[in-house]
């Protein structure tokens, strides 16, 4: 085993500059969810250059590579996401985003580059392991309905069915060269909230003739914070955040008729998640009704709570200790 670890480390060191270059290329040319056409082409070109068999067009722009080892064994799936976010990059580096308003702010460029680097090593050492590796380059992680659900519907986890699937996520606060594991509940569910408050617009100097949705939205945002602080079990983290608000108004002295809010709700407990969805709807309707306005809340239910399989996590951690040291 020590000899094999030495070979893997040597290959990792040899390919290090290539993987950094791949990551920086992806960072320079980010693409939004369901629009990863050039990203997919680049990934496919890399795999073809190394002779790694793969198929394209999964869930739009997804790619699946299948590696066969030296004899029968389990199928293990490895997964990386590949889409970017609608964010304008302000970093001043030579590889900053060239696509205005789009940035790999969530690390998917690093995830994809890491998986490509791992596949290159696995392919080189394919006579040293048994079984099958299925590598999944997933599009549209950031946007509902989510590329994962579409990939699964298309059969990415069948024929052969993986015994385990492993993914990773970068953590900028952790020193480079270290990895972390957590058994069981690991990451929160993620739901998108879209809320429209409908009032009655008018002149800002005559607020008594209006039903001001701006003022109502301020009350609602403040009140909804108590949904978590006074209803959720404190030992189970939960977050409700509104990240976007805008109105139909066009001047400083005009009270608009509508205000729109967008946010996210995240939880680590599925029962509380369902209860919170009910409370969100009830509170929004009640507060707006009490202030003589109406509202429409759309909850787009996203990924469920991530639960890391305990035995798989323990095994992965033991391998990391063997490779990196404790």
Given 31, 81, 109, 141, which residue is catalytic? 141
Predicted confidence (pLDDT) at residue 95 exceeds the cutoff of 90: yes
Give the pTM: 0.89
Active-site residue identified among 83, 109, 191, 269: 83
**Bond into 318 cis (ω within 30):** no
How confident is the model over 65-90, as a mean pLDDT? 97
Location of structure tokens 């970068």: 170
Give one DSSP letter per residue of 114-182, joined into a string: HHHHHHHHHHHTGGG--SEEEEEEE--SSSTT-HHHHHHHTTTT-SSPPSEEEE----TTSPTT-----
- Three-state SS for 46? helix
Closest CA to 212 of 227, 225, 202, 222: 202
| Residue 141 appears among annotated catalytic residues | yes
Contact 138, 61 (CB under 8 A): no
Instruction: Return the pLDDT at 248.
Output: 85
Average pLDDT of the segment spanning 180-205 = 95
pLDDT at 303 over 90: no
Mean pLDDT of the chain, nearest integer = 96
Mean pLDDT of 232-258: 93
Model confidence pLDDT, tens digit, residues 35-59: 999 999 999 999 999 999 999 999 9
Closest CA to 139 of 216, 82, 206: 82
Residue 193 host element (H or E): strand 191-198
Q: What is the pLDDT of residue 216?
A: 97
Q: Looking at residue 213, what is its pLDDT?
A: 97
Residue 1: its pLDDT value, please? 81
* The pLDDT of residue 164: 95
- The full set of domains in the chain, from first to last, is 2-170 (3.40.630.10), 191-300 (3.30.70.360)
- Note if 45 is an active site residue: no
pLDDT digits (tens, 9 = 90+) for 98-154: 999 999 999 999 999 999 999 999 999 999 999 999 999 999 999 888 899 999 999
More confident residue, 22 or 160: 22
């Amino acid at each position: 085993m020590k000899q094999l670890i030495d070979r893997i480390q040597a290959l990792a060191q040899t390919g290090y500059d290539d993987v950094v270059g791949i990551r920086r290329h992806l960072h320079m040319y980010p693409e939004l969810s369901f629009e990863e056409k050039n990203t997919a082409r680049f990934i496919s070109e890399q795999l073809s250059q190394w002779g790694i068999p793969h198929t394209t067009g999964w869930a739009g722009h997804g790619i699946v590579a299948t590696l066969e080892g030296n004899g029968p064994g389990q199928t293990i799936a490895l997964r990386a996401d590949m889409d970017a976010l609608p964010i304008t990059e302000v970093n001043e580096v030579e590889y900053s985003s060239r696509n205005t308003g789009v940035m790999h702010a969530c690390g998917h460029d690093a995830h994809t580059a890491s998986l490509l680097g791992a596949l290159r090593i696995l392919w080189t050492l394919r006579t040293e392991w048994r079984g099958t590796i299925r590598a999944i380059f997933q599009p549209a992680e950031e946007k509902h309905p989510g590329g994962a659900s579409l990939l699964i519907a298309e059969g990415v986890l069948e024929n052969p069915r993986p015994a385990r699937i492993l993914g990773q996520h970068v953590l900028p606060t952790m020193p480079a060269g270290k990895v972390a594991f957590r058994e069981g509940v690991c990451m929160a569910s993620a739901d998108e909230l879209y809320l429209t408050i409908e009032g009655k617009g008018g002149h800002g100097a005559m607020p008594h003739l209006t039903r001001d949705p701006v003022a109502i939205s301020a009350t609602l945002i403040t009140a909804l914070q108590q949904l978590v602080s006074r209803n959720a079990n404190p030992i189970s983290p939960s977050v409700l955040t509104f990240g976007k608000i805008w109105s139909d108004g066009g001047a400083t002295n005009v009270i608009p008729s509508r205000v729109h809010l967008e946010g996210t709700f995240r939880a680590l407990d599925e029962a509380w998640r369902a209860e919170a969805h009910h409370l969100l709807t009830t509170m929004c309707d009640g507060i707006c009704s009490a202030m003589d306005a109406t509202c429409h809340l759309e909850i787009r239910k996203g990924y469920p709570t991530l639960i890391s399989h305990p035995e798989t996590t323990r095994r992965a951690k033991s391998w990391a200790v063997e490779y990196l040291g404790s």
